[in-house]
Amino acid sequence: MALDGSPRGKHPRYLPSRVLNRTAVLAAAVVILFAVSVLLGSYTVTIPDFFKIVIAHLTGGDKIPGASFIVMENKLPRAVIGTMIGVAFGLAGALFQTMLRNPLASPDVIGISYGASAAAVIAIVIFGASGAVVSGAALAGALAVAALIYAISTGGAIRGTSRGNAAGNRLVLAGVGIAAALHAVVNFLMTRADIRTAADALVWLNGSLNSANWDRAGVLFLALVVLVPAVAVIAGPLRILELGDDAAAGLGIRVNAARLSLVIIAVTLAAVATAAAGPVSFVAFLAGPIARRFTGKASLPASALVGALIVLAADYFAANLAPLLLDGTVLPVGVITGALGAPFLLWLLVTANRKDA
Provide the pLDDT for residue 3: 36
Q: How would you write the pLDDT of the chain (357 residues) with one tens digit per residue?
A: 343 334 444 444 445 788 889 999 999 999 999 999 999 988 899 999 999 999 998 888 888 888 999 999 999 999 999 999 999 999 999 999 988 887 778 888 888 888 998 999 999 999 988 888 988 999 899 999 988 988 887 764 444 444 434 446 788 888 889 989 999 999 999 998 898 898 888 888 889 998 899 999 999 999 999 999 999 999 988 888 877 777 888 878 887 788 889 989 999 999 999 989 989 989 999 999 999 989 988 899 999 999 999 999 999 999 998 888 888 788 899 999 988 887 877 777 677 656 555
* CA gap 341, 332 in Å, rounded: 15
Q: Quick one: DSSP state of residue 64?
A: P
pLDDT at 181: 92
User: Do residues 107 and 96 touch, judged by C-beta distance below 8 A?
Assistant: yes
* Residue whose C-alpha is closest to residue 263's, from 138, 181, 103, 154: 154
**Among the listed residues 311, 308, 301, the one whose alpha carbon sits nearest the alpha carbon of residue 336:** 311
Q: Give pLDDT, residue 155.
A: 66
Using CB atoms within 10 Å of the CB of residue 210, give its burial: 0 to 12 exposed, 13 to 18 middle, 19+ buried: middle
The reported pLDDT for the residue numbered 257 is 85
Helices (H), 242-295: 245-250, 255-277, 283-295
Q: Does residue 273 sit in helix, strand or coil? A: helix
